[in-house]
Amino acid sequence: MYKHALDTITYSFRDLKDLMAKASPHRSGDELAELAATSYQERIAAQYCLAELPLDRFLNEALVPYEEDEVTRLIIDTHNKESFSAVSGWTVGQLRDWLLSEEASADRIHSIANGLTPEMVAAVSKLMRNQDLIAVAQKLRVVTRFRSTVGLAGHFSSRIQPNHPSDDLRGILASTIDGLLMGSGDATIGVNPVSDDPETIRRILHLLDELIQKFSIPTQSCVLGHVTTSLQLIEQGTPVDLVFQSIGGTEKTNRHFGIDLSLLKEANAATRSLGRGKEQVFYFETGQGSALSADAHHGVDQQTCEARAYAVARAFDPFLLNSVVGFIGPEYLYDGKQITRAALEDHFCGKLMGLPMGLDLCYTNHAEADQDDIDNLLVLMGVAGCNFIMGVPGSDDVMLHYQSTSYHDVAFVRQLLGLRPAPEFDQWLQQQGIVDASGQLVATDKHALLDHLVKS
């Protein structure tokens, strides 16, 4: 039992799981799960109580039982006690204050990252204002390398997302080239296929590989099919650069996705054996609300479940990881304010755990959000040092039917904040005459060039 007195009222929280949920900033998913604080006052009392909690309490009171959940076992069994020793005597509030201090350099924060469990990271995020989340995340750089180098200071990358409602190859190619001509695609060219049909995915992978090889584009491809389909294609010799998989923060969530840790380990080894890039070969996606939507949250609040998913990602050293922040819908993140808060939390937690964090800044059409909310969030994420975002034609995904960020948005935030694409990709863009030496897009007849490239 945890208690905190606020004015004349003493608020009680039955266990650590309840305390974490009540301390979370307001969001619709926790209300749906009947976990949220019932008043602003109760939330503040929970945050005060959480601030006074010793960090080592999270090592002794599992939110999801060790015996029932392989993600909990992963978190506990791989906990780095040496890294944790520097902060082992601290409370959650002391960790927050230190992270915001000038003493907490990027190197010093990285030195404790493996000693922080996702529950500790989630807890400290609950004590922070949006400004705090930005200030700490902006210090941290997590750099990954394949054909391009993503995450360097002063750089801002993007994934081209050229989805097509019928997986038409010419449509996918046209959208891809359109994105390249707008300077997008240095993180990856990643297609969400309509179906998980292996032959369809094989054709898309060959198409993207041919494009990359023909024009010597320093990027990598990914078709976002299920990991078992990717394994099948790897066995057939298909040119697979990055293997995709959605992951969650509990074993039950991951089984809902048709995976477990042993399957991810198998896929990691198989993809690395191809030797197409460096050692980082996974592209993972997550999203607040995925555990609750699968009835696999074990009574844990959605933001903490999300942070636990990052423990799964950390175990496999991915090239890319992003939260598809508003995709699951208003049942979990109701409006623009909740989407913004969740995006900043996810980015902060991922970076603090040493992960190459990107965001799909998005919303569904039945959410209380619009493109102005995403414009605001786009600038915040650029300032916060986000590794990459999505480049979707016209911000409107015609296959998945949701709203995201466009190729123009990528160009806008780079120009606004003086950021560049990945260095290798930046040089390629200049060689192709797409941008000038300052990074400014060159005015050309892109429609004519696109038509020519598609026909060729």
* Distance in angstroms (rounded) separating the CA atoms of residues 436 and 429: 8
Give the phi and the psi of residue 2 in degrees, each rounded to 5: -115, 140
pLDDT band, residue 451 (cuts 50/70/90): low
260/181 same-domain check: yes
CATH number, domain containing residue 106? 1.10.220.70
125/178 same-domain check: no
108/154 same-domain check: no
Residues 315-340 have pLDDT tens digits of 999 999 999 999 999 999 999 999 99
Residue 2: per-residue pLDDT: 80
Does residue 8 carry a pLDDT above 90? no
pLDDT band, residue 445 (cuts 50/70/90): low
148/131 same-domain check: no
Number of domains in the chain: 2
340/378 same-domain check: yes
pTM here is 0.96
Average pLDDT over every residue of 393-412: 96
Does residue 190 carry a pLDDT above 90? yes
* Distance in angstroms (rounded) separating the CA atoms of residues 104 and 110: 10
Average pLDDT, the chain: 95
State percent of the chain over pLDDT 90. 94
96/183 same-domain check: no
Pair of tokens at residue 449: 């060039």
395/248 same-domain check: yes
120/198 same-domain check: no
pLDDT band, residue 447 (cuts 50/70/90): low
Residues 19-57 have pLDDT tens digits of 999 999 999 999 999 999 999 999 999 999 999 999 999
Q: Please answer whether residues 270 and 213 qualify as being in contact, where contact means their C-beta atoms are separated by less than 8 angstroms.
A: no
Q: Please answer whether residues 21 and 30 qualify as being in contact, where contact means their C-beta atoms are separated by less than 8 angstroms.
A: yes
**Exposed e or buried b for every residue in 133-155, given b needs 16+ CB within 10 A?**
bbbbbbbbbbebbbbbbbbbeeb
Domain that holds residue 45: 2-139
Residues 92-140 have pLDDT tens digits of 999 999 999 999 999 999 999 999 999 999 999 999 999 999 999 999 9
